[in-house]
Structure 1
């Protein structure tokens, strides 16, 4: 066993831990079975879960055995939020989302070999548990004062809406998960985000009180931007890992647009590049920031990790094609549609719409006279081909897969024509 804890700390993946020296010794002496939980409170995992999945893979690569828990039971309740009670989803919805999350998690871990991963569902040991048995066997080990002192509970109690007993009991259910996995799978380490520290400690304490055994907990820090603002929010909301909630193209572009001040830190957290490789990319940020080599490496690595190499190559080609460095007609309709989804657009009709009018309709020019001047100066491209005729009409051969045509003014001002 290598000292994986040093590697995780260097990558910025360690925030808090129970007895760090004891955990280091356990990880060094032999394979440790560990788990992280993922609740199906949405139909997809997001960037926050990605941190946990990367951590799990690092530990597995070091020879330790992962258990990925999808909370078919806890997902029907949901961890208490900062404000407001969650809307409880139906059993059918939770079951559907559980299967979606299982499919997403599977691509991150290795399910063969001596450190083979395993997917588990806490509904397996919770569904048949009676209320009396739950209170007698689990509830008796929890002290109300400790539960009330947890940050999120304290904040909710002092708010106008308060907190229901349902959400208040979440920490007991999560603690029971750790106890069950400890008994069933000899699990001795739970990982999670830093906001889960109180819940992780609940499980550690439950194992100690119920079985008299020591267990460990390890959290990852909240990932922020260099200016301290929250990482991972887009105009459309969270950075989802499911392609039907955030296209691979949009996902790739999110990482490609990382600020220079953040990119090296994100390379450490979200990729598996070596220290030497990251050092070279860090130097490239200093020497050649305009090349954005570090951002491209980050975008390609993370997109490949989440969506696969084939999808990454498609979106890379689409990204290049928009600016004339790849052939637009070689892109499939879905990838091209994703690539132009956020561009300004206007309808156009084959044989009727003039390029000058389309420049105005899409907002690339303010008026027809200005559009014709730009055309006359050679500054307009249709599907990356220069338009030299200021009376040019949209033709059938201009239509790309997905019934679109790409307009470009200058080097970087893009718009899309939705062909009627």
Structure 2
């Protein structure tokens, strides 16, 4: 990078590793130096909670506001009815209005933890908006005439998100093809209504962001910007935000603070420094120091990472409770009340349920094959005792008291029988 930004926001995010691409880095920097700027990131309401994969861009919005600018969280109440086809192999299931509204309410709980929506605050207040406000009432013929004429199908087909789908000879419906036009229109409307000058998002959204910039320039003759963050993978190649038990949700009613804390505590050694810069507000020098620790000392960095990230999302008390539970489980051999728990009924068990099923259903393994491998390699334990028989059957009588399953030294779950 030859140009060295002077604005607080760009200097911070570049130093911490947030920047993948920007349509005009110098132009955006110069505009930021003139005073507060409004930006947005869009979120389709496809689930009742955001997950860890969203957290990078939530932190980006937090830094945006902390450096004196106004963030907009744009909820896709309209676009969720269509579904983003980007880098998907199939069409998203269509959701009804009631489910979309419920999902938006669930997602707002996370934004409330990271952003300040208080108009009396020290920084420009964050705003949550819903693109259904302008998309639901569109007249189709007027929209085609006024907006559709600015889009080249040839160019839309060249975007990697579409091209990869077609190259695999997988269907792309006309409904989904409209998605990128609607998202581009969001940027136009936010600029027209609220003076929004920047859209940010993951690098998989680059094509959609550029579409919005081109459309706004053509219709309003306004100079606006786009900025993307890298698509994160862990050092061992896994997509960030996925665990062996599935998505790492951010709402406490979908994933306990303890499980969230434990996800970060299990970070691979090589990722500690990088994740501290991205997901906490610790000074960069401290992140580098912790990330450079070797051997067992790197565990200090992992515990601090888990503590800081959990504190931001769930609060200091929840983070301290999770850390105390982990210490009880790992150092004292206890069971811990906040461990992830699989609750079974007598009907679930019948005459017996296999230990492989229990390991899989408790989230300690992603499949039966993985559970069997865990057992055969000596990585599984039952009530802290080595487990070597993949054919073991567990009965209701065995569950008169909760049992503790372990995968390696760090991951544990309880199995209990419902009353």
Alignment counterpart, residue 109 of structure 1, candidates 110, 115, 127: 115
Unaligned runs of 5+ in 2: 1-5, 344-361, 366-380, 389-399
Aligned runs of 1:31-42 on 2, under 5 Å? 31-42=36-47
Deviation at 1:60, TM superposition (A): 0.7
Alignment counterpart, residue 318 of structure 2, candidates 307, 311, 314: 311
Q: Distance in 2 between matches of 1:164 and 1:363?
A: 52
Q: Which residue of 2 aligns with 1:83?
A: 89
Deviation at 1:101, TM superposition (A): 1.4
Q: Which residue of 1 aligns with 2:283?
A: 274
Higher mean Cα deviation, 318-327 or 215-224?
Answer: 318-327
Deviation at 1:249, TM superposition (A): 1.5
Q: Which residue of 2 aligns with 1:387?
A: none
Aligned-partner SS, 1:68: strand
Contact 1:318 1:326 in 2 (8 A): no
Q: Distance in 2 between matches of 1:184 and 1:317?
A: 48
Deviation at 1:282, TM superposition (A): 2.8
Distance 1:338 1:27, change over 3 A: farther
Deviation at 1:412, TM superposition (A): 8.2
Contact 2:402 2:414 in 1 (8 A): yes
Q: Distance in 2 between matches of 1:139 and 1:124?
A: 19
Distance 1:294 1:136, change over 3 A: same
Q: Which residue of 2 aligns with 1:377?
A: none
Does residue 123 in structure 1 map to residue 102 in structure 2?
Answer: no
Contact 1:71 1:122 in 2 (8 A): yes
Aligned-partner SS, 2:228: strand
Q: Distance in 2 between matches of 1:413 and 1:299?
A: 14
Q: Distance in 2 between matches of 1:412 and 1:227?
A: 18
Deviation at 1:30, TM superposition (A): 1.1
Contact 1:84 1:161 in 2 (8 A): yes
Aligned-partner SS, 1:101: helix
Q: Which residue of 2 aligns with 1:261?
A: 270
Q: Which residue of 2 aligns with 1:27?
A: 32
Distance 1:291 1:34, change over 3 A: closer
Deviation at 1:148, TM superposition (A): 1.3
Deviation at 1:91, TM superposition (A): 2.1
Structure 1-normalised TM-score? Answer: 0.79
Contact 2:258 2:339 in 1 (8 A): no
CA RMSD of aligned residues (A): 3.0
Alignment counterpart, residue 218 of structure 2, candidates 209, 216, 227: 209
Q: Distance in 2 between matches of 1:82 and 1:25?
A: 37
Alignment counterpart, residue 156 of structure 1, candidates 149, 165, 173: 165
Aligned runs of 1:5-404 on 2, under 5 Å? 5-80=10-85, 81-112=87-118, 113=121, 114-283=123-292, 285-286=293-294, 289-290=296-297, 292-324=299-331, 333=337, 335-336=338-339, 338=341, 362=383, 364=385, 404=402
Unaligned runs of 5+ in 1: 345-359, 368-398
Distance 1:16 1:256, change over 3 A: same
Q: Which residue of 1 aligns with 2:370?
A: none
Deviation at 1:85, TM superposition (A): 1.5
Higher mean Cα deviation, 270-279 or 17-26?
Answer: 270-279
Q: Distance in 2 between matches of 1:189 and 1:307?
A: 29
Distance 1:415 1:202, change over 3 A: closer
Q: Distance in 2 between matches of 1:414 and 1:233?
A: 17
Distance 1:129 1:263, change over 3 A: same
Structure 2-normalised TM-score? Answer: 0.79
Matched residue pairs, number? 365
Deviation at 1:118, TM superposition (A): 0.5
Distance 1:292 1:158, change over 3 A: same
